[in-house]
Every structure is written in structure tokens, then in C-alpha cells.
A and B are shown apart, each in its own frame.
Chain A
Amino acid sequence: MYTSILKKLPVFVAVILLVAAVVIMYFRSKNVTRSEFIKFIKNAKYVRAWVFVVVFVMTTVFAIFNHIHSKQSVYAVVALNYSEASQAQNSNGTRYNMAEITCDEVIKKAIDMGAFEGVTVSDLKKCLAVYPYVQGDVRDESEYHISTEFIVEYYASKDTQHLDAENVIKLITSAYKEYYIEKYTDNFSLSTDGKKPDFDSMEYMDIVTYFEKETSSILNYLYSMAQKSPSFVTANNASFNSIAGKVFQFKETQIDQNLRSLIMQNGIVRDSTGYVDRLSYQNKNTDFDRRKNAISFDLCNQAIAMYSEEMTRVVLVPTWDEVGKYYMGRTKVGIDELSVKATDFSNRVASYEKEIMYNNLIIDKMNGSDAGYEKNQSADDLVESIYESIRNFEKEAISAGREYSNHRMNQCIAVSMSGNSLFGELKTILLFAMFAYVSVILFTISRKFPKRV
């Protein structure tokens, strides 16, 4: 707003000059008759060298000031392109706040990006103004307007006049876009660690577990994205489900079948004794849990046997629904709860037994292990290649996610710069020159009017 007022100020000065000339002429013309006045106007010389020189000098001075001024002010329009914007919301459904465009965090980011010297956040903040492109009227319901376009205006102050105005506004809007995307849009970081673990210090079977965890994390991400948009296809003609299919297939063949079976069949291990001891200890703990669950299962069965027949029937309980109507609802009785628990305990016992058997199998293989350097080397090579493949799958998944987000958000925020064009400046200068010429000519004519009749 301030910028637009300041922009019009020089032309305003020229208009005042013209008005002053007209007023002086009006007062002096009181001493002459109408016909004399017209005669004066008709006979006046309009082409005078000194008038042109004066107008030229005035216009030049004006042009210099106008140019300096125009270099110091610029504005940009920030448009929100996502569907939630029309409800004054951020893309994640939280309330949109236009003041964030010039918040401290954004300005700090812009200062860092542009490496602006000798400028603080508060210095720059004072030079910025944000307001909606279209202002509604809260007093009239038909004039209510939720703006999705905002004007960010910059006018240089004494502390910031050494900065390029266009660069400042460009970096402010760019920093805001970055800030907005970090804060309100989809998160693309997978729960995978990212850092490469030290495989040389890890047991091979632990590496298998690590790989399984990593692939599961990628699969979870892809399935969750596929749920959001099952039909989305990337530029490479891949969908979330197709990428997930590839990852799943890879997990089944490369990790479970190739690596695991290679390790198991050949009993590949770095520290056989240590690893076997660890598994034996694990088995002891698991067996303790197994026994605990087996006892709980027996107890549940005994309790069920002790129930009388009446208690096993379905119980109808009077209740009411959402609109307040009464009805008789079926409800569980004690025996249901016990039978569910018994099934659960039984499942757990089976799972613990499977784990113990699996560990025993590994212990058997590792105990008599005579895998040589070659076997270890081939396992190491396989580990490296699987690690690389997992990282590539991760990149593919993230890239597809980003592509989807860009497609959905339509680039989220669009920024268009509007500075003071040289053509615009020339227009203003020409307008000023015209006003200046008319004013000077009017002064010249009015000087010829007699002071008294």
C-alpha cells in the first residue's frame, strides 16, 4: 500500500504544480475580460526554447528520482494452488496464516540464501508488507472473500537500500515456499535409517533381519501412498503398487531365499561361539515365555470347563441407539472372553515354539560350521548388492511420492514478480513532462496578464 502511494507521489507533485499554475492564472485573469483572456491564450507562443530547456531539466531531475525510487520497491503475488486454499487452510488442513510469509523464520532463511550483509531480520521485516490480492468486505455477506492470492510488497529503507529489491522479494518468496513445504506438505522421509551400517561387525543373520526391517519400512510407505491414490502413475509409468510389488518380490527372493539360505546352508558366521551362545540365551528366554503362555492356556481351559451351562448363553442387554431409540443388544458373556484369551495364548505358544526350533536349526548349522573365506566373500558380495538395491528402491519410492505430491499440490505455491518496468517508468516520465510543460506555459501566459485594470 505504502509503495503504491509512494509510486504515485511524483505524479501527484506534478499535478500540484499544474493546479498551482491554474490557480495563479485564475487570480490574474480577474483583471481581464473574457475576450481578452481568449486573445491572450490564442496569441501566446507555445514553442519557446527556454520552456523546453526548463521542462527538460525538471523532467531529468524527476526521472533520476523516479528511477532511484522504482529500484527500491517491488512486489510479488503469492498464489496458493492447492484445493484446501479455498477454505483458508494449509494443505494439511490446518488454518492458513498469511503473516507467515514474512515471519522471522522465512526472513532469516532469505537472508541466509542471499547472503545479505549488514541486514537483520527486523530491518528487513520493516520493509515488507503482506495483504490479500482481493480484499473482501466483512460487513456484507455477498462480499465475503477467502483470498488465495497475496501481495508481498517490499520498499527499501535506509538500512536495506544497498540490497537489490528484486532479489530480496525473490528470495523471500522462495524461502517462504521452502518453509511452507517443510511445514505443511507430505513428509517424504522413510523410517529407514539412511546411514550405512557397519556390516563387517554385524552377524550375517542380523544383517538379514536389518534388510527385512528396511524393506518393510519401504513397503509400508508405498502401501500408505497407494491407499491415498491407487491410480497415480509416475512419469516412468510406475504406480505405488507396482513399486511395492517389485520391493516385495525382491524381499522374497533376494533376502529370504538367496541370502538367508546361503547363510543357513553353509553355516556362514563371523563368531560362531558367540552367536550360538546368544541364540541359546534367547531360546531360554523364549522357552520361559512359552511355558508361561502354555500354563495360561491351561488355566483358561479349566475355567471354561467350570462354567455352568446358563452362563454360556447369549445375554440380551437393553440399550439405546444414536437417535435415542431403545433396543435389546447382544453382548458377550464371560466365557467368550476366556475362549478368546485361550486362543491367543495357544497362538503365542506355537509362535514361541517355532522361534525356538528355528534358532535350534541355526545353532545346529553354526556349530558345525566350516565355511571358508570364499563362502564368506560371496555372502559379503550379496549383502553389498542387496544393500544397494534397497537404497535404489528407497530412492524410487521417495521420488514417486514427491511426484505424486507435486501433482496433487500443483507446485503448491506459485510466485509472480511485478517490478517497475522501464516502460512503466518512461510512461510516468512522459506524463510528468506533459504536466511540467503545461504548468510552465500557463505560468508564462499568466505573467502577461495586466496586474490591474
Chain B
Amino acid sequence: MQTYKVDLSEQNEVYENEPQNINEQNIKVKRNIKAAGLFVASLFFVVVTVCVAVIGCNYIVNRNFRETFYNVSSLKVDNKIRIIQISDLHSCSFGKENYKLIDRVKKLKPDVILYTGDCFDSKDKSEEEIVSLCKELAPVAPSYYIYGNNEVERLYDIPLIQEELDKKYGYGDEREPQKLLEEKDLFEETLEKTGVEVLKNECDTITVGSTNIDVFGVLTSNPSSFWTYAGETFNDYAYKNTNNLKITAIHEPFVFEEYEYEFWGDVIVCGHTHGGTVRLPVLGPLYTHEGGLFPERNGDFVYGRYSVSGKPMIVSSGMESNNLLRINNQPELVIIDVNRF
């Protein structure tokens, strides 16, 4: 049997020191965990503070609207024409019964007022507020209302896409697009009583000073149904009375993304996109339902001024003010001045 001599004194010293090292290590680990926790907590605090501050500030800012002025040049006008576009209000109100909005629109003295859809929500909320707004503004200038997807959802039983429309109004040669346009709803009748004209794939001509203006409002703004249901009237509008100033009002701008056409109008106004809801510095609009993330990078029309067949197209970011996630994107009232220079 082999025996080993062990120097226990040394070992004992090691064993005696071990608990101390373990303690130190534990303390170090605890300290590191504490530091990491503190760092994470501070980071969380900073992130939460920034988020709350950004959302809070934007909520306060969004309670008011800003005015965005655009200048458009056309040789067809003799005198300056001012168009005011109210879009995507979603039953929101600026002041009691929209008195702030009404006051500003009256002071800005428009020649034409265009409501480019989604002025009330498809769910729950009533359309009384928008009717009262229309009633107040109708005496100010000739006013036109174009339905957006929310109005269509509320007033029609079906979405206005080719497939669904064809089921109701026939296929091929038997199709009767006129029937869709002739259908009158209660909202339209109410609006017309206030003096606002609802344009459903049709054109109306007015004279401001010595300038004749054709306003065309699109109902079937979905690219699938646009040409089938609005094509004929649109071509009439585009190629007759070519000396008149042509204003095309449409809720969704997707038709212009989908089709190339030689003349869409001298001025085109749209809404729907809410300017991408969140607008990030440098990166631009964050998201739209149709375009997904960073839609402008895919060539989508999201917000501001674009050129369509060499003519200006204005996409409004809308006036919805109760969306908490609407960041760096204040509700806007669009004012378009059409000059001859």
C-alpha cells in the first residue's frame, strides 16, 4: 500500500483562503449584475421617457392642424385660383364643431373646396360633424365631396373593386357602370342639401374669374375598377374643353402608381395614406397599409408633391388628429394656389 505525504499546512491555507475568493468573486458578479441591471434600467428609463415624451408632444401638437401651401403653375388660369383640400378627417374635430377649421378656411378665401374622402369613420361614429362642416363651408366656395374607402364601407354593401362590382353590375358587354353612379344614398342627399356636390366618376365645371375649371371626382379609385367604371367619363373630362383647368380629385393615389397615362389632370389631389402615419427623419414615412414598411422607397405616393405625367399631384397627410401613433406628422390643411407663372 502506498502512502502519500501531504503538506496539509499549504492545503489548509488554500482551503482557508477559498471562501474569501469565492466571496470576492460573488461580490464581483453581484456588482456586475447590479451594474448591468442599472444600465438596463437606465436604458429602459431613457427609452420610455423618450417614447412618452415623443408621443405626448405629438399628441399635443396633433390637436391643431398646420397649413401646407403649394404653388402650382398653369397657363390655363388668368387669375390666381386657390384650392383648399380637406382629407381624411375621420370624424375628428378641431375645436367645438370644427370652429377652428371653419374660421381658417373662411379667412384663406378659397375658390374651390375639395373633400377628398374618409371625412368620417366607417365604424360607429356619426357623420353629423362632417355634414355640419360642409354646411358651414358651402357658402364660402363651390365645394365637392369625393368618397373614400370609409364612406364606401359605410354606404355601399361591397368594396368597390372590379370583382365585386362585376357581380352586381354585370360582366363584359352587359356591364352597366352607370347604375353604380346613379345609386343615391342618404348621405349624398344630405350633402347636396348643404350645397356640397358629391362627384362620383363625374365632372363639374365652374367659372372663377375668367377661368373655367373642370373638377373630376373619382368614386372607383381602386386600380382594378378605375378604367372599367370611370374610364369613359374620365376620358371625356380629360379630352374635352382642353382650355379649362382640370382638377382631378381622388381618394387613393394607387391608380397613378399602377397606370401610366398621358394626362391625369392639371392638378391632382389625393389623400388616404395619412402621410405614412409615422414620419422618421431622413427615412421618411414609416408605414402604409398597402405599401408596408418605408413605402416611399418602393416608389409609392405617400405624402407631399409628386409629378404625374408632368403635372403636379398633391397627396395630403390628412387631418386625423386622434391617432396616438401619428408622429412627426401633424394633421394638415392643404392650400393649393394655381398661378399662371
Contacts and interface: CB of A to CB of B under 8 A. Distances in A.
A422 B243 contact: no
Interface stretch (A35-43, A48-56, A249-257, A445-453): A48-56
B341 A412 contact: yes
Interface of B: 38-39, 42, 46, 66-69, 71, 73, 75-76, 78, 80, 104, 107-109, 210, 243, 281-282, 328, 337, 339-341
19 contacts: A56-B46, A114-B69, A115-B107, A115-B109, A167-B68, A170-B69, A170-B71, A178-B80, A178-B339, A181-B341, A399-B75, A399-B76, A399-B243, A402-B75, A403-B75, A406-B341, A411-B73, A421-B281, A423-B282
B7 to A, nearest CB: 40
A421 B282 CA distance: 9
B42 A49 contact: yes
A174 B61 CA distance: 27
A152 B110 CA distance: 27
Contacts of B108: 114-115
A167 B69 contact: yes
A49 B45 CA distance: 12
B66 A174 contact: no
Nearest to B328: A422
Interface of A: 49, 52-53, 56, 113-115, 117, 164, 167, 170-171, 174, 177-178, 181, 194, 392, 395, 398-399, 402-403, 406, 411-412, 421-423, 425-426
Contacts of A395: 243
Nearest to B38: A49
Contacts of B104: 115
Contacts of B328: 422
A412 B73 CA distance: 12
A422 B42 contact: no
Given A403-B75, A411-B341, 6 more contacts: A49-B39, A52-B42, A113-B337, A167-B67, A406-B75, A422-B328
B142 to A, nearest CB: 19
Interface residues of A, dominant DSSP: helix
Contacts of A56: 46
Contacts of A411: 73, 341
Contacts of A49: 38-39, 42
Q: Which 6 A-B pairs have the closest CB atoms?
A: A422-B281, A115-B107, A423-B282, A423-B281, A115-B108, A402-B75
Contacts of A167: 67-69
Contacts of B337: 113, 174
A115 B108 CA distance: 6
Contacts of B109: 115
Contact of A177 (B39, B42, B341): B341
A392 B212 CA distance: 12
A402 B46 contact: no
A121 B38 CA distance: 56
A350 B281 CA distance: 83
B174 to A, nearest CB: 40
A164 B66 contact: yes
A422 B108 CA distance: 29
Nearest to A391: B210
A398 B104 CA distance: 35
Contacts of B71: 170, 174
A242 B341 CA distance: 24
A421 B328 CA distance: 12
A192 to B, nearest CB: 12
B235 to A, nearest CB: 19
A195 to B, nearest CB: 11
A167 B107 CA distance: 16
A114 B69 CA distance: 9
B100 to A, nearest CB: 12
B34 to A, nearest CB: 11
Contacts of B107: 115, 117
A117 B67 CA distance: 14
Nearest to B279: A422
Contacts of B76: 399
Contacts of A181: 341
Contacts of A402: 75, 340
A34 to B, nearest CB: 32
A52 B43 CA distance: 10
B42 A53 contact: yes
A423 B328 CA distance: 13
A423 B339 CA distance: 33
Contacts of A170: 69, 71
B69 A171 contact: yes
Nearest to A425: B281
Contacts of A426: 281
B76 to A, nearest CB: 8
A421 B104 CA distance: 27
Contacts of A403: 75
Contacts of A399: 75-76, 243
A399 B244 CA distance: 12
Nearest to B109: A115
A60 to B, nearest CB: 8
